Structure 1
Amino acid sequence: MSLRNLEIGIKSSAKTSMSATQSNNLPLWVQDRDRVIAESTDVEWRYQIPPDYSRSKENLAKESIYNHLEGTLEAIVQNLVRTFEMEVSFKANPQQWLSIVNENFRVSTNGGVEYTAADLSVQGTYNLFMADSEHYKASEESFESSAKVFHTTFPQGFPWEVLEVFSGPPNVTFKWRHWGHFNGEYKGHAPTGETVEIIGMSIAKVTDDLKVISLEHYFDNNLFLEKLTSGGKQTNAENQKSACPFSSWFKKSHKS
C-alpha cells in the first residue's frame, strides 16, 4: 500500500479502523509481529531460533492501556516499532531487517549521536539509547550483557505500546509507554516490586511503503535508572541467592 493510499484510508475511516482486507494488504513489517517472524525465512537468528513473544502477548493483553483497533494509524505505528525492536534484538544480520531502509537508517536519543543499523546490531538498543551515566555504563556492556541485565531486572518482560499518534506519514510523531515489573535485581540493587514505567516521544521518518528512514527518541533515562537503584545495594548473600547463571538466561533469552 502506498503512502497516499494509507493516508486516504486513514482519513476515510476517521482514524478508527480499516477492514481486515485492507490491513492484510499493508506491508508485512507493519502487520502483527508474529506474522513477520513466521514469514522471516532464511534468517540469521541471534540465538539460533526465532523469538517467542507468547509471554509478552499475555502481559500486553492484561496491562496495555490501549488495545488499538486493527488497521488504525496507531496500530500500524505500533506494529512497525515492535517489528523493528524484534529485528534489532533477534536478527543478527541488519541487512535482513525488513522495517528499515538499511543504507539510510539513523537513530538518535534526546538529540544525541546518530547511529546506524550496523551500530545497533553490534551494541544493542540499551547501550545506544542510554549511553554512560551514574547507574549504567554502556561503554562497559556488550549486546549480550546489556540484554541479560534487563531480562534479569524485568523477568516478566518489558512491554511497549503506542499511546497516541500526533501526525501521520511521512514524519510520524507518537507518544509511547514502556513498562515492567521490577522483580529482579538490577546490577546488585534490590528489586522493589514496583511497576517501572517510561513515557517517551518519538519521530519516525518513513518511506511511501512505511519503512523507517530515521528515528528520534526523547525520554528521561535518568529517571528510569534512578527507579532501578532505589531499592539500595543488596548484601553479598542476597546477591548470591538471587543470581541467575548466564547459561540459564541464555536458554530463555529468545522468549520475550
Structure 2
Amino acid sequence: MTTRSNNLPLWVQDRDQVIAEGTGVQWRYQTPPDYSRSKKNLARESTRNHLEGTLEAIVQNLVRTFEMEVSFKTNSQQWLSIVNDKFRVSTNGGSEYTAADLAAQGTYNLFMADSQHYKASVESFESSAQLFHTTFPQGFPWEVLEVFSGPPNVTFKWRHWGHFDGAYKDYAPTKETVEIIGMSIARVTDDLKIISLEHYFDNTLFLEKLTAGGKQTNSESQGSACPFSSWFKKFHKS
C-alpha cells in the first residue's frame, strides 16, 4: 500500500491534517490540540521512521487519529476514525467498550481498571489524564513498531514510552524512561475505519515501574507538586 497520503481517507493522514479540517468539533478543552511539542519528541526519540504511504505509516496515522479523537473530541459521533455504531474496544481479552464509554471515562480508566496501584473506579477522565501528565510531563508518545497483517484484520506491534520525571501519586519519580510494548488487532472497513480494536499489553508491569521509586516523604511530595497544573487544559497527549 504505497498510495500518497493525500489520496487516502482523511483519518489515515497526519493527525494535524485531521485537526485542521475539523469543523464544528466539540473540543474537550474548547480549542483544538497542538501536537508541535509531540512532533519534536517523536522526531528525537522514535525508533522507527515509516515512509509516507506505507502500511506501517497508515496504521500509525489511524491509531494516532483515534487517540487524538478519544482525548480531545467530547462527542464520539464526531470521531472520523471509527464506525461509531459498531465500534468496540477491549484490553487483554477483557470487557468490550463503546466509543461513548471511551469519551466519558478515558482510555486509562477503561484499559487499566482497578488494581493495587491504580483505581479506575475513583478516577474521572480529567483526573486520570492529569495524573499521567504529572508522571510524564514531557509527554507519553506512541509509535508502530511492526505490522504483521493488513486489512481487514490489521495486526501490529507498538511502543509507548515516557520519561518518569514527575511523581506518580505519592511515588517518587525514577527519572528513567518507562516503556510499554504491546500488540493490537484492528478490524477495519474497506475505507480503513476501525470497527473493533483489541489491545494486549502488561499493565501490571507498567504500574510496577511507576511505583519502583518507593513512597515519597511529605517534604518530597510537597516539593514536587506538579508545576504544570495551572495550564493542564493546554496539555496535548502524544
The answer to whether the 8 Å contact 1:50/1:254 transfers is no
Structure 1 CA distance for aligned equivalents of residues 106 and 231 of structure 2: 17
Work out which of the residue numbers 174, 195, 198 in structure 1 matches 2:156: 174
Please state if 1:55 is matched with 2:41.
no
SS of equivalent to 2:121: helix
Partner residue of 1:141?
Answer: 123
**Bigger Rg, which one:** 1
Asked whether the equivalents of residues 148 and 249 of structure 1 are also in contact (C-alpha less than 8 Å), the reply is no
Which amino acid is 2:215 matched to? K
- Aligned partner of 1:160 in structure 2 is 142
Runs of 4+ in 1 over 3 A off after TM superposition: none
2:74 counterpart residue number: 92
Match of 1:238 in 2: 220
Q: How much does 1:41 deviate?
A: 1.1
Alpha-carbon distance between aligned partners in 2 of 1:190 and 1:61, rounded to the nearest angstrom: 28
- The residue that corresponds to 2:88 in the other structure is 106
Q: Does 1:208 align with 2:197?
A: no
Partners of 1:205 and 1:146 lie apart in 2 by: 28
Q: Following the alignment from structure 1 to structure 2, what is the Cα–Cα distance between the partners of residues 78 and 96?
A: 20
Distance change >3 Å, CA 60–CA 246, structure 1 → 2: closer
The C-alpha deviation readout for 1:145-176, integer Å capped at 9, x for no partner, is: 00000000000000000000000000000000
Instruction: Report the 3-state secondary structure (helix = DSSP H, G, I; strand = E; otherwise coil) of the residue aligned with 2:161.
Output: strand
Unmatched runs of 5 consecutive residues or more in structure 1: 1-9, 11-17
Kindly provide the CA deviation profile for residues 49-99 of structure 1, in whole angstroms up to 9, marking residues without a partner as x.
000111111010001010100000000000000000000000010000000
RMSD: 1.2
TM-score, L = length of structure 2 = 0.97
Equivalents in 2 of 1:247, 1:129: separation in Å?
24
Give distance in 2, aligned partners of 1:123 and 1:159. Answer: 21
Q: Offset of 1:254 from its aligned partner?
A: 3.8
Q: Which of 147, 166, 178 lines up with 1:196 in the alignment? A: 178
1:243 positional shift: 1.2
Q: For 1:249 and 1:149, locate their aligned partners in 2 and report how far apart those are by CA, in whole Å.
A: 14
Q: What is residue 102 of structure 2 aligned with on the other side?
A: 120
Q: Distance in 1 between matches of 2:229 and 2:179?
A: 28
TM-score, reference length from structure 1: 0.91
Per-residue deviation, 1:196: 0.3
For each residue in 1:22-54, what CA deviation from the matched residue of structure 2 results, as whole angstroms up to 9, or x when unmatched?
A: 321100000001000100111000000000111
Question: Which of 14, 28, 31 is the aligned partner of 1:32?
Answer: 14
Mapped to 2, the partners of 1:186 and 1:167 lie a distance apart of: 36
State whether structure 2 residue 73 is matched by structure 1 residue 73.
Answer: no
Superimposed CA distance per residue, residues 132-154 of structure 1 (whole angstroms, 9 cap, x where no aligned partner): 11110101100000000000000
Relative to structure 2, which stretch is displaced further, 240-249 or 106-115?
Answer: 240-249
Unaligned runs of 5+ in 2: none
Identity fraction in percent = 84
